[in-house]
Structure 1
């Protein structure tokens, strides 16, 4: 009788088209503290402020607003940025910088200019000194980009003099006249933005850019030898472009002057294919490996003692707000993010940790309103879905990156678009579990970051210490939501970080089940 009832129940389920529950898939993660990649540079938790849309005006800077402080800076934005944990902020662009003249934005008389990159009037009421006030209030490192488009190499040198020289020469004294007696000591300077792109004002060939950047670098370092210079690497991967030719020429010509080469990548989901989309950060790692090889080739036999690193100083999800009016004016690039976007950002950060030996800076583009984790209106702000995985990494994933062994179920993608007209070949054996780990040898603190890319199934995973033993409970933080398209909004938080019950872990292994479409961070101890 019971058997007959069971058969009838199964028949009813199948007849109604209902899915029977599936058991969790199985995986293993092996942690070995001796398998070291390199120290994780805190600068991979950077972001970007450009004079674009409402990033500056109506974002971080809104004089006259009841939410603004005495310097016109939004207090709620300041607090959200501090909580985000951003370590370095790139400024002032972006495409904007290739027609930006920094002298228009300092002193008592500001010069309004037509911003030819984003087609708005730039009042220049926010400039170098206002940005540095913002930097000091959020506790981040400043990173300036000079104009290698319409600007001159002498103008770049003057900016270093204005910001970094204490007294004596004209522009150092001009800063003092403007009310800022002490130099800022800005360490990081980029030699232009995306100069390989035909869309860039003052676009140059690789050879011409390298010559101009080399001479600017000489002037800038002669003014302040302590600065670190970042060359504009490849950003154009469209059909017909030759990004590695650009990178090779730039590295060859500038190898004696630069400290980083900057790469850019934006990804999207224009075909609404979830599994293709959540695999897109792997393309960043593929490009990283190629440029790492170019750096090694160029430096082979060189007398240079310091290495050249990679700075992914623009990356994000961007594909919705990129046509028509969404590309222009004061409401430009106001992308709204969902859960699958947050998983992609977690994937990028996992990738930067796995490439910790060569990737020493990264900047999520951008910080507020414009393809950003923070979104404002006149009354307040909300934190977009991508805010939460970034915050967990920036707060906790500090130490030494470990080479983690992952045995996970896999899937194959199709050939797909990244989001900016760039096609990539299909990817095979993409693991559902995307994992990184960071270890602090001094105190035994272990941080394990796991994205479960599976849309529908949890994955039960055995975590194994190949050397040493797990000690004490592991804290568990999870970023998830009701479905992959869930978004946040003003007063509505469908996707956020949730503290889950601690996991007992005393010994060489423990088990955890990672929910579908989730990012999980486990924090505990591994004793040697």
Structure 2
């Protein structure tokens, strides 16, 4: 029998709330028609969709990265402030669209306040300038008689926004990016950007643009003492989704379930590689682990489609989403921020019509992991687990993580059963603990891994909760085939 041994003293690190972040870019309906809408009766006086804000609140999203993404490499924040009738309407080159600039810095900040999330701004290191980034920090965070602080006051905001998280560009390593640069050229500029931005506000935290091995080593070698995070992006795709070589992408174009489920191994591989790169450069400069930059996975998603036609996330994507969170938790010592595409309205997680909203399958693992967790990650000891073979490798059918809340005296055990057809009866062994006889079981289940939530059938996949009574300190639980389960154990 498979055994999962829980030892709350064997801790990995603090689970940072910022791993439950999101990402909002000016693309398709994400901003205009999504979070900001002038044509719906679901909006408030600021034209913010209240049903989207409610959905964000239910996900306990901690921080939102904005304005991009590829969009930011051609975006000039000056265009999005001041009276709306005076804002320029411009050709936008990242996604070949027209940008109205009706949703700019002050609108984003107001939306963050209403949604109770922390703002996370990425600056333009494509065709932007160091001075532009410096002035953006001043506009947002200064509380003195400087020009841009006074301009913010003039436009109706007296108190500074105190934006803590600032990204130094987006995917500058990519040839598709406006202002694409080599690692050496990016690093030279990023050092100077960091210098002036932190002189305006020394309390801000900076995120360096990361990629693959050679790029990361070059960037870290010059920036390791200047930045607080190294970012990496991770996308995986199901069926029709297609993308280039994007830092290790699995594309399930052949509709191979177990190929797609091998995503969990890829996520872990990418995180371990980035951790080792940070540690290697840190060792060169004799930095302690507390002094090292941490990982910020500020773009990640299990995408089911990326075409022009309408498409929905299916239950396979939900399974993969849960595995992302398991990896973030199992690497809690280094993964301190992550931003899912959950605010890419009508692409990922949340779909809207004029006066209606749909929560896709991937919404529910996000809701589960963000709302039902402890604040410290626990290392699990899993014995006798079944494996499947993929590309000559042995991959466990059970993908797991655990957290503990020592103040509330609760353990949360998260298990994703990847076996398409087989359930597993698992013995849960609680080492050195006496536990309550009632366990709260939360499950996300589906009768078919291709199951989708649609506007005609909104609740085919959802989060369900029940209470299970156990008779002893160690107990058995049957994990259903292709399932996502969280056990809340009180001790």
TM range (shorter): over 0.9
Within the candidate set 85, 100, 104, 2:75 is matched to 100
Give the alignment's Cα RMSD to 1 decimal.
1.4
Contact 1:44 1:361 in 2 (8 A): yes
Q: Give, in angstroms, the shift of residue 174 of structure 1.
A: 0.5
Instruction: Tell me, in whole angstroms, the C-alpha distance in 1 between the residues paired with 2:398 and 2:381.
Output: 11
Distance 1:174 1:303, change over 3 A: farther
Name the structure 2 match of 1:496: 462
8 A Cα contact 1:195 1:209, kept in partner: yes
Cα distance between partner residues in 1 of 2:92 and 2:76? 11
Return the index of the structure with the highest Cα Rg: 1
Structure 1 residues 301 and 245, CA gap change in structure 2 (3 angstroms) = closer
CA deviation after TM superposition for structure 1 residue 335, in Å: 4.7
Residues 313, 506 of structure 1: alpha-carbon distance in 2 compared, 3 angstrom cutoff: farther
Q: Deviations over 1:84-117 (max 9, x none)?
A: 1111110000000000000100101211111101
**CA deviation vs aligned residue, 1:155-180 (integer Å, no higher than 9, x gap):** 00000000000131111110011111
Distance 1:389 1:206 in 2: 36
Contact kept, 8 Å, 1:52 with 1:370, in 2: the verdict is: no
Unpaired stretches in structure 1, ≥5 consecutive residues = 1-25, 235-242, 327-333, 415-425
Seen in structure 2, the aligned counterparts of structure 1 residues 446 and 233 have a Cα distance that, compared at 3 Å, is same
Cα distance change of structure 1 residues 38 and 119 upon mapping to structure 2, 3 Å threshold = same
Shift in Å, 1:279: 2.0
Summarize the Cα distance change of 1:335–1:252 in structure 2 as closer, same or farther, 3 Å threshold.
farther
TM-superposed deviation, 1:463: 0.4
Once the two structures are superposed, the pairs formed by residues 3-402 of structure 1 within 5 Å of their partners are: 26-108=1-83, 109-234=86-211, 243-268=212-237, 269-300=252-283, 302=285, 306-318=291-303, 320-322=305-307, 325=308, 335-402=311-378
Check 1:233–1:485 CA distance in 2 against 1; reply closer, same or farther (3 A cut).
Answer: same
Distance 2:60 2:405 in 1: 19
Partner of 2:408: 443
SS in 2 for 1:103: helix
Q: TM-score, normalised by structure 2?
A: 0.93
Give the conservation status (yes or no) of the 8 Å contact 1:47–1:90: yes
Distance 1:429 1:29 in 2: 19
Secondary structure (helix, strand or coil) at the match of 1:143 reads strand
1: CA distance, partners of 2:264 / 2:347: 17
Task: Give the Å deviation of 1:64.
Answer: 4.0
Please state if 1:429 is matched with 2:414. no
TM-score, normalization: structure 1? 0.87
Instruction: Report the counterpart of residue 22 of structure 1 in structure 2.
Output: none
Contact 1:397/1:447 (CA < 8 Å) preserved in 2? yes
More deviation, 436-445/183-192: 436-445
Query: Does the 8 Å contact 2:374/2:410 carry over to 1?
Result: no
